[in-house]
Every structure is written in C-alpha cells, then in structure tokens.
Structure 1
Amino acid sequence: MVALSSIILAALPIALAVSSSAPDLMGREANAAQTESHWANHAAAQGRHFCYVRPDADGGDDAPAIMDALNNKCNSRSLVIFPGPVYNIQTNMTTLNLEDVVIYQFGRMLWSTDIDYWLSVSMPVGFQNQSTVWYFGGNNVIWDGWGVGTLDGNGQVWYDWARSQGNLPHRPMNINLRTLTNSVIRRMRFVQSQMWTMAITYSQHVELDDIYVNSTSTSQWSTLNTDGCDTIFSDSITFRRWTVSNGDDAIALKMNSSNIAVYDSYFENGQGIAIGSMGQYNGRYEYLENFYAKNITLKNTAHVSYLKTWAGISRGYPPNGGGGGYGVARNITIEDVKLIGGRQQPFFAWQCENYSGYAGQDCDSSLFKMEDVAWRRVSGTVQSGVTEAAYFQCSAAAGGCDDFEVTGFDVTKEGTDELLAIWDCFNVNNPVGFTCTESQAQKMSSDVTGGHGSNNK
C-alpha cells in the first residue's frame, strides 16, 4: 500500500503557503465592536478597496447589497466587513471571480422561508440534480467568521416540507463553493441547512478550518440529506477542526475528488465519513484518490466511514437511480479514531447501490475498483445491538476489493469488554490485520451458488 500520509504531508507546504501568505489584516484582534473608520483605515494601510456592508435598516433583502460589494465595489484586493447583526437573504446570489479579497463576517445571514421561491430559483451544481442558492468563488480569498459569522438556512421548514424524503429536486444547499482556489475559510458557523450544507466543486487548494455545522430537526421529520460538505471535481481540499452534528454524511467525497484531508474533527449523529457514492453515471469513469483522515471522534454515527458504489446495471437516472459507472477509489487512510456508541458496523463497503426497488441486488456487477484502504488505531464502543466489525460487499466483476487493512482495532459493545469479532466479507482480497468471518448469510449463498465469496479467506 502507498503511504498515503506521506502524500498528504508532502502537499502540506502548499496548503500552509496558502494560509500564511494570505493577507490577514488584523492578526487575531478583530471583533465586531470596531468602528467602520477603524476598518477603513486598515484597508487603506494595505492599499485595499473597502466595503462595510450594513443590513437593510427596514429588514429588507440584503442579498443585493452583498452581491454589489463582492461583484463590483470590492471584487479585487479588498477588505469586506459584515458587522451584522442579521442579514435577511431573500434572493439567490452569485459572487464569483473574487481576487485577493478578505471577508470578515460578524453577523448572521438568515435565509427566508419561502420554499416555492427557492425551488424556482435554485441553481444547478452540476452533479446529480443538486442545486444551490449561492455560487461563491474566486482566488486568494480569506473568509473569516471569527467564531460568530453564521449562515443560517432556516432549515426546519425544509425538513418539515421534505417529510424525510431524500433527493427532492431543486431543494437547495446553502452554498456552493465553486471555482475557489488558493483560499481559506475559517471560524464560520453553518446551521439549519436547507439540504447539504455546502458542496465544493471545481476547486483546488482550499482550507476550511474551525468550522461548526449543525442541522437538527425539532419535529418528527429527519434531517436526511444535510451533509456537512461534499467535494466534487476538486483537488487538495483540507478540513481542520470541524464539528458536525447532522442527519447524514459529515464529509463526503464524490466524483473526481483527490487529495482530500480531514484532521482533528468531531462528528455526531449522522452517517460518518462517506467515500462515494460512486459509479452512478452509466458508462462514465470517475476516481476518488488520496484521502487521509487523522484524529477523528465520532459519536452516535452509523459508521466510522463507508465506501459505496452503484451496481453495474443502470436503472433510472441520478440522483434516485443510475449505476453502470466504473473507475477507482484508492489510497484511502483513516487513523487515530475514537468511536462513541456507533449505531452500525464501524467499517462498511457496499457495491450494490440501486434505487427503484433494486437496492442490494446485482452486487457482483459493478466495475468500480476499490483498493488500498486502511483504518488504523480505531477504538471505542458501538451500541449493544451491533454484532459486526465490518461488512465488506465487494463486486466480483471489479475483481473484488484489494488490500483492505484494519490494524489497532479495539471496539467493544457498550457496557462490555466484548470485542467485535465478525468481519463479514464478500470478494475481499488480501485482507491485512483481520480475518474474514464466514457468516450465516455467506454460508447460505455458498450453498446456493457454489462458492460466492470464496476468495474472502
């Protein structure tokens, strides 16, 4: 297996150069109490344009003023201050092509609850039918929330509207970080997202540090589809010190994501870290390469992480159908993990995804290859009903999964010293650190097919 940590560490000087060279006008002393003249003087000292964007005095729509600042007055070599307290967002926004812009946000951007309007204006992300109400992008951008700057999607109205149904068309994510390069987003809060909190698309060399995400329903309806962040067509994206409490993936890698890293983060109540889903577009090649996560704590999540591809037979069309794509997911390493009350198997891989009533079928048909995946030093507990350490359902058509490693594993059932010892595998080649266990389901399958999964051992 390639030492993925060395790949990521080799890339760190680039990321650190982005962070250290980006202009931080005030060091660590900024706060909302500073006056407009204070910020204007500092912008002038740096030779920057200056925008101080106050909320509309009558509580009207603040989106036009935000776009005017970021698209016109302060689109390049600028300092932009959002002093708050509340910005009412009532129309969709596009703010792209920023160049060398510092944004300090001290207020809350609060989206309106006009579901019909947002469904009518949501903008395509360019993957599945995902959409957004804010395109944001540029080069050499710092967006700093100083621990208080907030994007609030007013999500409860969306959770009640969706009634726990997934992937409803035109239900928008809060923001799409799009063609964002050599930039840093830090100390921001993202709460009650309408759908996904954010997607990062067509972006490179972006750091997101000290980010808080919370999407929690107060009604009977779930927060399905409230992913913390999904990466798509992006490279060299680093997440540091994230806190995510939601009802779906904390961080998810999707089509053509590479050199993604997650450090020192806490994930609660959702699905865990998602690699995929993959292979959803019939006949289309995609890759997910070089993912590294270290020092991760997960509480009440479905898994530590899971890998998921669609079956090799296409039915329907994304997002609620598909399959038949091919490609590779490789060089994936997750280490130094603390698991608290996990709800299902800590480790999960599945190549049977298909909606339209066919989920769990055609499991050996996917041509998507998964290889060089390692989980190291994982400890903690799962809930009492969990019996398996892992469920690895790998596709025979892809030649199975190669070089899966689990070492330093110490996960027990809550309230016991009983180490999880069932490793349920189909078509796993050369397992490292664990021995596949022939489950009753495998025995039945072997009796029927004459040896399905026989290369697991």
Structure 2
Amino acid sequence: MVKTGSTCVVTPISETAKAAAVAAAAVVARDIPGRDVVQGRDIDTATQTEGDLDLDDIWNLNDPSSNPKPGSPGALGHYPRPEPGLKKNQARSLDLGVAGDEEEEEEVAAVAPMGPRQNRPDDTPQILEAFKQCRQDSTIIIREGTYQIRQVMNTTDLRNVSIELHGATLVWSADNISYWRQRCFSVTYAGRCTAWLFGGRDVSMRGFGKVLFNGNGQTWIDLAKGEANLNGRPISLTVWRGTNIFIDGITWRMAQFWHTFVAHSQNVTMTNMDMSTWTNSQHKSVNTDGTNTWNSRDVRIANWTVKCGDDCISVKGNSTNIHVSNVTCYESGAMCVGSIGSNSRQPDYVENVLFENIQLNHSSNAAWIKTYPGTGYVRNITFRNIRFSDVNQPIYVTSCIYSYQNCDSSRIPITNVRWENVTGTSRYNVAVGIHCSSGAPCDGFHFEGIDIKPKAGGNAKVLCSNIKNQASSGLQCTGPCPGSHPQQLSGNV
C-alpha cells in the first residue's frame, strides 16, 4: 500500500512480487563486480554514501508512476522495503532463483514481496492499512489484480471517502472456515454475522462494472448441508451504521451467505450489481439472498441482476422509504417484505416501500409479504410492473410464515398494499394465496392489471381470507385461503 497525499493505492501481493522480480533482474544485471547497473547508471553498493541512490531510488527509476498524482492509478512504488532497523543492504534474503554471491542475494532481497506466508498470501492487512490511513477526505484505489482476503474487515469509520476498484478480484479464503465462523462480526439480526463491516458518512465504492467479489460459496453450501442459518456463516458485505453511502458496479460470485445486508443505515444507494450464487452439489444454496434491509431508511436499489437460492430483495423490520427498481431475478424469492415479527416482544415496522419494473424467472414467489404472529405493522407497500415466467406462487401473503400456526393471533396489521400490472405464468394453478390474521385483518388492498395464467393452461385460483373490503379491492377471490396454505406448492391445488 502506498499513500500519496490524500490517496492510498493498493496493489495485490502477487503483482508486487512480479514487479519485485523485474526490479531484481535489473539489479542483478551488472558489468563490474561489486557494482549495480540500473537504467545505465552505476551504483557502487560498497561505497554508497548519503545522497547516493538508495532502494527507493531504484524503485523510482524502474517505476515511472512512482509519484502518482492524487486520484490517478498509483505506483507499485516503494514496496517492499527492508525490515525496520536493517540497513539498506541488509534486507531479509529471499531466494528468487537468481545465481550470484551472498552480496547479490542481499540486493535481490531488498525488493522481496510482502506477505506473511509465501504459499498463502493475504492482502487483507494492506487493504485495512489503506482504509486506516485514508479514512477521511481521501481516495482509496484498489488496483487491478487478484486479492486474497483471509481475515475479517471492519471499515466503518470513514468520512468523505471515495473507494475505486479498478478491475480487482477479491477472493475470500475457504481453507480457514473455523476462523471465519469464530471471527465474523455480529450484525445482531437473528444471530447472523458478516465478513466485512462497511460504513461511515459520505462514502462511495465504485467497481466500474469490472470488479469481482468471490466468496467461495460452494464450501459454505456444502458445510451447511441445507441448513438455512448455519452459525458463523458470514454475510459477504454489510453496510453498517452508514449515512450517505453509494455502492456501484460490483459483481458477486458464490457468496458465503447473503450477498449484502443494509443495517442501521440511512440514505444508501446500491446500483448496477450482478450477483450469482448457485450449487454444484446435492446441497441447496439456501439463504444466499441478494440483499436484506433492516433498521434502515431511504434505501435505493436499482439495476441489479440476481441469481440466488433465497430472497432476491427482502425488506425486513424497521425499514422505511425503500425503492427497488429495474431488477432481474433468477431462481429466487423475488420481491419480499419480511419476514418480520419473529420476536413478539419487539415490534417490527415496515412502511413506504416501492418495488417496480421487476423481471423474474423460475422463482418461488413474485410479490409477497411474510410475517410471524408478532407485533408491529406493514403499510404503504407497492408492487408495480412485475413480470415473470414459471413462478411457483406469484402473489402470497401470510401472517404465520414457516410454522403455519397461530395464524389468526398475529397483531401485525398489513394495510394499504397495491399490486399493479403483475403479469406472467404460475407454475401451478394458484395465482394468489392470501391469509391475513383474523385478529388484525388486512385493509386497503388494491389490485390492478393482474394477469396470471398457469403455464400448463386452465384457470388460475385466487385464494383469500380476512381481507377487509375485498369486494372493492379489484381482486375476485375464488375460494378461502387457510392459514396452513404454504409459501411454495408442490403441485396443483
């Protein structure tokens, strides 16, 4: 990591090693015993005095970008340096396979790459150092290359910082699972944890559509063996206590758990994301959500493509003013409010949520709401312009998710919900299944432009229970919906 002015530049250890080898070759090339030749200049290592070229000079001569302007791609620069306390010609030796005497080996060692272990490099320390040194009124540039992430990262104290990832690939290790399970940071919600806490005020992270986050998710999928909430399975990235956060242009592949989580945050915008986590084994990729919001407000999500084994976009408790638009989801739970109300002693509130311009393919549901028999409320929700094909049960509302018990004891009223222009094919013969609690009936439901047809043909069923003013809602129910009616069907009803 190199800091120039208010800019911190990070280069992967692997690339630093390549640069070190090039510089080493230049140092070894000599025409007089005991003398080095660097770009045509002689350096007498035996008689070098103050004012002569030192190791930094060697790097500067070989690296034309060693003094970058702030905001420009930085240099490999002045890494690696000798260990503190060593003289310039006494750096730790490293065998790079170059023949020569003992003095030559010391000179080659002066440009040895950083890293705690040569066989398992870890770029986490230098990335964290960049966030530490440039945590305020600064720019952090992560240069092109592959970065090995072997440790948790907490970068939540940022102020007015721009992070630029220029073609970088970040790979989270999968050979130290016990470390991740023990050291991931708690995010409080449902006992979950995360590999990266990211936050602060006035912070942007841009990937320019060329950055890749690889969580090695298959290892976690196989470890979980279908268990939905394996303890210590980390969320890839959590926006935590952030204000005015902008994240754009990042590709995820094989996330460890949820791809992202937004918690205790305000004014968060996440755009142009490409997320995909699947399984190549007999175990399902459960709980690999695209994102979840919780205890947050003023969140905007736009221009996403998500393939995952659970909810595509989920709005959880105490989320307000959430806008989701232009999202395409594959093999997922699509657009969801919930689940909320799991703790009856802690009310959950969700209001002012808009999902619009959504495309779904082979999902479990399309536009739906799930609560436990808890307390709180859900209100002012709109699902607009939702188009899909082969969705298990497109519109679904339940007051007793998962257990399907005590469904009529829920005290979470669901009110003022609109479904507009929801069209496509259902996998089976149920287009709508809505069971509201008789103890807190749904009210203010409005349906317009609903056109759902079973993919095998025939008429779709619309099952409804405990909806106030249902006759004027725009939905023609064909029968009641019992509390035991499941979220996903296994055949026609």
TM-score (norm 1): 0.79
Report the Cα distance in structure 2 between the residues aligned to 1:39 and 1:342, rounded to whole angstroms: 56
| 2:439 corresponds to | 397
Q: Pick closer, same or farther for the CA change 1:419–1:263 going to 2, 3 Å.
A: farther
Percent of paired sites with the same residue: 30
| 1:30 corresponds to | none
Report the Cα distance in structure 1 between the residues aligned to 2:264 and 2:299, rounded to whole angstroms: 11
1:410 corresponds to 2:451: yes
| 1:353 corresponds to | 401
| 2:172 corresponds to | 111
- The residue matched to 2:478 in structure 1 has which SS? coil
Query: Structure 1: which amino acid aligns with 2:231?
Result: P
Higher relative contact order (Cα pairs below 8 Å, separated by 6+ residues): 1
| 2:159 corresponds to | 99
- 1:191, distance to aligned residue in structure 2 (A): 1.6
The residue correspondences of 1:185-200 to structure 2 (distance < 5 A) are 185-200=247-262
CA contact (8 A) 2:435 2:466 kept: yes
Give deviations 1:124-174, integer Å, cap 9, x for gaps. Answer: 101111111111101111111111212211000000010111112121111
Match of 1:423 among 462, 482, 492: 462
1:309 corresponds to 2:348: no
The unaligned stretches of length 5 or more in structure 2 are 1-62, 80-112, 486-493
Query: Structure 1: which amino acid aligns with 2:334?
Result: G
CA contact (8 A) 1:107 1:150 kept: yes
4+ residue stretches of structure 1 with deviation over 3 A?
35-40, 49-59, 439-442
Q: Pick closer, same or farther for the CA change 1:352–1:51 going to 2, 3 Å.
A: farther
1:80 corresponds to 2:80: no
1:373 corresponds to 2:417: yes
Report the Cα distance in structure 1 between the residues aligned to 2:358 and 2:245, rounded to whole angstroms: 24
Greater gyration radius: 2
The residue correspondences of 1:211-230 to structure 2 (distance < 5 A) are 211-230=273-292
1:130 corresponds to 2:192: yes
Match of 1:435 among 460, 464, 476: 476
- 1:36, distance to aligned residue in structure 2 (A): 8.9
Query: Structure 1: which amino acid aligns with 2:388?
Result: L
| 2:69 corresponds to | 41
| 1:340 corresponds to | 389
Q: Pick closer, same or farther for the CA change 1:69–1:198 going to 2, 3 Å.
A: same
Q: Pick closer, same or farther for the CA change 1:196–1:39 going to 2, 3 Å.
A: farther
| 1:206 corresponds to | 268
CA contact (8 A) 1:289 1:331 kept: yes
Report the Cα distance in structure 1 between the residues aligned to 2:482 and 2:319, rounded to whole angstroms: 34
| 2:14 corresponds to | none
CA contact (8 A) 1:411 1:419 kept: no
CA RMSD of aligned residues (A): 2.5
Give deviations 1:185-204, integer Å, cap 9, x for gaps. Answer: 00011221111111101111
- The residue matched to 1:173 in structure 2 has which SS? coil
| 2:54 corresponds to | none
Report the Cα distance in structure 1 between the residues aligned to 2:455 and 2:447, rounded to whole angstroms: 21
Match of 2:406 among 362, 365, 380: 362
- 1:38, distance to aligned residue in structure 2 (A): 9.7
- The residue matched to 1:190 in structure 2 has which SS? strand
Q: Pick closer, same or farther for the CA change 1:52–1:166 going to 2, 3 Å.
A: farther
CA contact (8 A) 1:245 1:267 kept: yes
The unaligned stretches of length 5 or more in structure 1 are 1-34, 312-324, 446-457
TM-score (norm 2): 0.74
Query: Structure 2: which amino acid aligns with 1:389?
Result: A
- The residue matched to 1:187 in structure 2 has which SS? strand
Report the Cα distance in structure 2 between the residues aligned to 1:147 and 1:260, rounded to whole angstroms: 24
Q: Pick closer, same or farther for the CA change 1:274–1:440 going to 2, 3 Å.
A: closer
Report the Cα distance in structure 2 between the residues aligned to 1:387 and 1:206, rounded to whole angstroms: 39
| 1:387 corresponds to | 429
Q: Pick closer, same or farther for the CA change 1:376–1:51 going to 2, 3 Å.
A: farther
Give deviations 1:207-246, integer Å, cap 9, x for gaps. Answer: 1110111111111111101011010110000001010000
CA contact (8 A) 1:145 1:187 kept: yes
How many residue pairs match? The answer is: 383
- 1:382, distance to aligned residue in structure 2 (A): 1.9
Query: Structure 1: which amino acid aligns with 2:464?
Result: C
| 1:177 corresponds to | 239
Q: Pick closer, same or farther for the CA change 1:221–1:367 going to 2, 3 Å.
A: same
| 1:11 corresponds to | none
Query: Structure 1: which amino acid aligns with 2:438?
Result: A
| 2:128 corresponds to | 67
CA contact (8 A) 2:154 2:198 kept: yes
- The residue matched to 1:158 in structure 2 has which SS? helix
- 1:39, distance to aligned residue in structure 2 (A): 9.6
Report the Cα distance in structure 2 between the residues aligned to 1:150 and 1:200, rounded to whole angstroms: 20
| 1:452 corresponds to | none
